[in-house]
Amino acid sequence: MTTLRAGERYRRRIFRKSMFVAGTFAALAIAVCSDIAIGPGWYSPLEVLTALVSPESVEPKLAIIVWDVRLPVAVMAVLVGAMLGVAGAQMQTILHNPLADPFTLGISSAASFGAALAIALGIGLLPTGGSFFITANAFVFALATSLVLFLFTRMRGVTIETFVLVGIALFFTFNALLAFIQYQSSEAQLQQIVFWMMGSLARATWTKIGICALLLALVVPLAWARNSMMTALTMGDERAASLGVPVARLRLEMLTSISLLAATATAFVGTIGFVGLVGPHIARMLVGEDQRYFLPVSASAGAIILSAASTLSKGITPGVIYPIGIITALVGVPFFLSLILSIRKETWR
């Protein structure tokens, strides 16, 4: 048996990775289909398909269920999963830490605090009323947190470690403030805050879907244009810099896009943990950290997890749809533990 030369082996590896990317997208398609097909009401897949293709030909109730309930939830699951997957992959890359996720730097607790402020005290920072009142407040607080972190990166001699420590300090600060509000609020408000934080796709609307899709359409091309720089960054700051990568600017750009993605996702569907952590991990195991493959696989892995969790949230107890935040954590924790035990030591540290 002749051994192939290194270049040929590289070409084959690249082909295999492209197949993995295609494979995860196919798996995502299956997950989305089952998410749409399954739900309270127990219609057959054929009926659901008919309702999707020609809503006029089926009974109005089914058309409403499919188009106004199931489809927005399924699409939102995919978009939010992809947003968290991309944000997690970028966060792990810029912090050189595979245990980071989009919420590592306190963005989610800031959003929760903003939401609680709106729910309990009726304080909103943006002049929006109605359905976007809570969402806008959560978004503003999440972005303000990122802004504080930005200003911090401008300071001289700030290392990644101190940066993460400041993020953790912000996390605890907002958690304490949140507890303070919870202690003060009435029972009804408390319930609303807790439900908000659990994370739910039931709040999905076509407007929110449009905003998420627009954001992804802005962020993904930037991430794609920067993919070789980001791959270089995984080798370490100095090695990347000696290849001419403007490390500080790249980190700031990526932090901006992570903040927008994480803030939007949290504001719309609440805190959904583990997706942003586990998605990139699966991608790293399958295709490594070459961003051309790492990024799409992280996104689709995140989307698959959230789609599966969304399906499961409808299937556990007939007639009850559990908040997806509960399900992802329940699915996520054992999965994460099995990953840690099965994965080779070097890849996650």
Partner 1 sequence: MSLEISGLGFAYRTHRLFDRLDAPSLQRGELTALVGPNGVGKSSLFRLVAGLLNPSCGRIYLDGCDISGMSDRHRAERIFLLTQHTAMRATLCVFDVVLLAKRGWSGGKTTGDDIACVEQALEELGIDHLSDRLVTELSGGQQQLVALCQALVRNPDVLLLDEPTSALDLRRQLEVMSIVQRVTRERGIVTIAALHDLGLACRFADRFLLLYEGQIAADGQPQEVLGAEVTSDAYGVRLAIEETSNGAMMVHADLA
The reply to whether 232 sits near partner 1 by the rule CB under 8 A is: yes
CA-to-CA distance for 225 and 138, rounded, in angstroms?
30
* Interface residue with partner 1, options 30, 158, 214, 243 (CB under 8 A): 243
Q: What is the DSSP string of 123-155?
A: --SSS--GGGHHHHHHHHHHHHHHHHHHHHHHS
Positions 70 through 109 that interact with partner 1 (CB under 8 A): 96
The reply to whether 326 sits near partner 1 by the rule CB under 8 A is: no
The reply to whether 253 sits near partner 1 by the rule CB under 8 A is: no
* Interface residue with partner 1, options 35, 101, 253, 289 (CB under 8 A): 289
Nearest approach, Cβ of 3 to partner 1 (angstroms)? Answer: 8
Residues 6+ apart with CB under 8 A from 42: none
Cα-Cα end-to-end distance for the chain: 36
CB-based contact 300:27 (threshold 8 Å): yes
Helix (H) or strand (E) holding 303: helix 291-315
Cα angle, residue 259 at apex, residues 257 and 264 outer, rounded to 5°? 100
* Interface residue with partner 1, options 42, 44, 319, 349 (CB under 8 A): 349
**By CB under 8 A, which span of 34-42, 118-126, 259-267, 285-293 interacts with partner 1?**
285-293
CB-based contact 84:272 (threshold 8 Å): yes
Residues in the interface with partner 1 (CB under 8 A) total: 32
The reply to whether 21 sits near partner 1 by the rule CB under 8 A is: no
Nearest approach, Cβ of 282 to partner 1 (angstroms)? Answer: 12
The reply to whether 312 sits near partner 1 by the rule CB under 8 A is: no
CB-based contact 197:316 (threshold 8 Å): no
Positions 202 through 231 that interact with partner 1 (CB under 8 A): 225, 228-229, 231
The reply to whether 56 sits near partner 1 by the rule CB under 8 A is: no
The reply to whether 154 sits near partner 1 by the rule CB under 8 A is: no
What are the φ/ψ torsions at residue 130 (nearest 5 degrees)? 60, -135
CA-to-CA distance for 291 and 120, rounded, in angstroms?
43
The reply to whether 245 sits near partner 1 by the rule CB under 8 A is: yes
The reply to whether 160 sits near partner 1 by the rule CB under 8 A is: no
* Interface residue with partner 1, options 235, 252, 326, 339 (CB under 8 A): 235
Q: What is the DSSP string of 156-187?
A: TT--HHHHHHHHHHHHHHHHHHHHHHHHHS-H
Interface positions with partner 1 (CB under 8 A): 5-7, 9-11, 13, 96, 157, 225, 228-229, 231-232, 234-236, 238-239, 241-246, 284, 288-290, 346-347, 349
